[in-house]
Chains A and B, each alone.
Chain A
Amino acid sequence: MKKCIACGMPMEDISDFAAGDPTKDYCIHCARPDGEMQSFTEKKENLTQFIVRTQGFDENAAGKIAENMMRKLPAWEKYFD
């Protein structure tokens, strides 16, 4: 089973893949409306806002968690060298 390179989500169903395309390595949540993968900055901002909305954390703390999530994912490893 493929895992999204940008957020780690398992992609089982075709609807999990960006643009419903199973050849893509990233998921629907990590795609822009045009189907391209979000940039590092966009993904970090989206994850941060998601953590704030679902857990109510302070924005700086949420940003750190977002970075820690991204640090181990293939799409973003190079940003943490």
Chain B
Amino acid sequence: MADSTRQIQKANTRKKIMEAAYRVFSEQGFSVPTSVIAKEAGVAHGSIFTHFPTLNDLLICLVSEFGNNIGASMHGLAAKCDSVENLLTGHLNVLEQYEAFYTRLISETSKLPGEAKNTLAVIQSTVAFHFSSVIEREIEKGTVKNLPVHILFNTWLGLIHYYLLNREFFADSNESIIRRYKAELLSAYICLIKKEGGV
């Protein structure tokens, strides 16, 4: 019984550290010292190292959890989506939910440990998988231009990343870029890729 109480406490502390790290990294970037994360989590500094031997371990774990969440959301969307508009709206909704952390990931990729960088590449490949499954159906139906899938995917991602990486020019500091520009980005992209008079 005492063992299980200890295990629950341990799991709770780990969860608190993960949540605090997510907030701190999102707001301040990946160079933040672990003492800031401990303070935010309300745990002793040493407690972080009981759960994550190094800062890199914590980063890898966070990026991996983030990837699992994005992957699960995109899988659910692609299964239900009958149109590219719906899938892309869903993609933007998922990114909006994680906007600050995602922006850090794409702007500070070079600061990530190798394994977290690899995980980020795997995350984008998962998104590409769901994107391609829907867009290829539309190309076949003749509703989307017959362009290479990687060009269609990279154009979409490039557009979103440009806005996120230049956020200071597009919105006030606390405003969500995706929420503000979602409708415009989506309609412009759809207009670019749709075949005129498509079936």
Contact B122 A54 (CB under 8 A): no
Q: DSSP majority for the B interface?
A: helix
Query: Which A residues are in CB contact (< 8 Å) with B150?
Result: 52-56
Q: Which residues does chain A contribute within 8 Å of B33, judged by CB atoms?
A: none
Q: How many residues of B contact A (CB 8 A)?
A: 20
Determine if B118 and A54 form an interchain contact, defined as CB atoms under 8 angstroms apart: no
Let me know if A51 and B125 touch, CB within 8 A.
yes
Chain B residues with CB under 8 A of A12: 79
What's the tally of chain A residues with a CB closer than 8 Å to chain B?
A: 16
B75–A54 touching, CB < 8 Å: no
Q: Which of A1-17 contact B (CB under 8 A)?
A: 8-10, 12-13
In the complex, the answer to whether A9 meets B75 with C-beta atoms within 8 Å is yes
Using A54-B149, A56-B148 as known contacts, say yes or no to A65 and B75 having CB atoms under 8 A apart. Answer: no
Q: Which of B151-199 contact A (CB under 8 A)?
A: 151, 153-154
Q: Which of A26-73 contact B (CB under 8 A)?
A: 50-56, 64-65, 68-69
Residues of B within 8 A of A68 (CB): 118-119, 121-122
Closest CB in chain A relative to B88 CB, distance in Å: 15
Interface residues of B (CB under 8 A from A): 71-72, 75, 79, 118-119, 121-122, 124-125, 128-129, 131-132, 148-151, 153-154
